[in-house]
């Protein structure tokens, strides 16, 4: 059964995920370093991990796999999740793929170096409505793709 794992601390599209998950009756794990309000729905589970570095990422990476969806803006977590067979969607609606993750990792490293040198300041631009729409489309498409996959034959 498909589950959705949310790297939730800075995720701006949690409400959109809840709507899609409700429509398809999917389990959602909201993984955070602190308490967050989540819908009162037995399919939505808040997982509060320690505040140690990468605790939420590690929890997700240890559990997500083939047939699951991971929502994150964290590129190393996206890479780890792809390697385990999960579908990974950025919170801006752009999917991470095995073809795109190498460039994303390289860009992340470059931007880290530029920030360290003071060449780049500030964070990502705010979410626009078209970003939310793109995210909803990408998530719905991912769920549909997983539903069309043939089930594994019994052993």
Number of domains in the chain: 1
In a domain, 153, yes or no: no
- Per-residue pLDDT, 108: 53
Using only C-alpha atoms, the chain has a radius of gyration, in whole angstroms, of: 16
CA angle 26, 46, 42 (to 5 degrees): 45
Cβ within 8 Å of residue 127, ≥6 positions away: 12, 13, 91, 92
- Per-residue pLDDT, 114: 60
In a domain, 100, yes or no: yes
What's the pTM?
0.84
Tokens of 125: 């631009």
Domain assignment of residue 104, given as a range: 3-148
- Per-residue pLDDT, 105: 55
- Give yes or no for a contact between 105 and 117, defined as CB atoms under 8 angstroms apart: no
In a domain, 23, yes or no: yes
- The CATH code of the domain that includes 130 is 3.40.50
Q: Reduced to 3 DSSP states, what percent helix, strand and coil does the chain have, rounded to the nearest 5?
A: 40, 15, 45
Extract the residue ranges of the chain whose pLDDT is less than 50: 152-155
């Amino acid at each position: 059964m498909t589950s959705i794992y949310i790297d939730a601390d800075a995720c701006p599209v949690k409400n959109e995920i809840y709507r899609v998950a409700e429509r398809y009756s999917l389990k959602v794990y909201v993984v955070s370093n602190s308490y967050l309000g989540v819908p009162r729905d037995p399919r939505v589970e808040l997982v509060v991990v320690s505040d140690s570095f990468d605790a939420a990422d590690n929890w997700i990476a240890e559990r997500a796999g083939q047939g699951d969806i991971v929502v994150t803006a964290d590129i190393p977590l996206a890479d780890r999740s792809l390697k385990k067979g999960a579908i990974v969607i950025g919170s801006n609606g752009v999917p991470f793929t095995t073809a795109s993750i190498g460039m994303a990792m390289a860009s992340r490293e470059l931007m880290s170096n530029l920030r360290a040198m003071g060449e780049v300041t500030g964070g990502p631009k705010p979410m626009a409505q078209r970003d939310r729409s793109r995210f909803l489309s990408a998530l719905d498409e991912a769920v549909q793709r997983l539903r069309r996959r043939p089930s594994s034959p019994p052993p």
